[in-house]
Structure 1
């Protein structure tokens, strides 16, 4: 089963959810703003992804910009970045989907097809 972190008002999240439903993929949806992943969950997801941690930040979001994170991330430790991400789900690039092994950030139909069909 896929754990699917999304924000209901996000167009990209709605497209991804629609794709999952249309393709009968078993998933559990979690409202990313109300219930962001914990620091420990994010550390596990980050490790599984093989991506740089900065890829997990929603760089186009209002919270990211209001905190001037573009200038601050490079000086923050991984632990500090994980703490920050877990403190506010709106800082996390969405949707965030993972099945315990594979992690997808954002929505690209080809990536979803290659990983979950």
Structure 2
């Protein structure tokens, strides 16, 4: 089953959701600001993406700039920060089986369909 971590207020996330709808495939929508991924889930997501946790962070968010930027943070610290502040999670994330992509740009999603 395909899963999209989605923020309805984000234009890129809405574009990603449209691509999934157009694909005709079944998928699950996770509104991650309401249904916040656990630290374990975030580690699994970064592993599937093949990236370090810092690469999943939205570094222009004021929460990041005010509380974390410039600090010496471990991967575990960064995962914890995202779990506590889901606005920091880059979006949308689409997972299909053992493959995952960040839908920025939205056309990246086609690679997992």
When the two structures are superposed, what TM-score results if normalisation uses the length of structure 1?
Answer: 0.85
Q: Which runs of 5+ in 1 are unaligned?
A: none
SS at match of 1:71: coil
Counterpart of 1:111? Answer: 108
Q: CA RMSD in A?
A: 1.6
Counterpart of 1:50? Answer: 50
Asked whether the equivalents of residues 56 and 92 of structure 1 are also in contact (C-alpha less than 8 Å), the reply is yes
> Runs ≥4 in structure 1, deviation > 3 angstroms?
none
Aligned partners of 2:18 and 2:57: how far apart in 1?
23
Post-superposition Cα deviations, 1:22-69, rounded to whole Å, max 9, x if no partner, equal 1113211111111121101111111122112211101222322232x3
Counterpart of 2:99? Answer: 102
Post-superposition Cα deviations, 1:74-99, rounded to whole Å, max 9, x if no partner, equal x1111111111111210100111212
SS at match of 1:28: strand
Q: Which runs of 5+ in 2 are unaligned?
A: none
C-alpha displacement of 1:114: 2.2
Counterpart of 2:87? Answer: 90
Asked whether the equivalents of residues 35 and 89 of structure 1 are also in contact (C-alpha less than 8 Å), the reply is no
SS at match of 2:3: strand
Aligned partners of 2:106 and 2:8: how far apart in 1?
18
Asked whether the equivalents of residues 12 and 105 of structure 2 are also in contact (C-alpha less than 8 Å), the reply is no
Aligned partners of 1:41 and 1:47: how far apart in 2?
10
Aligned runs of 1:68-87 on 2, under 5 Å?
69-72=68-71, 75-87=72-84
C-alpha displacement of 1:109: 4.0
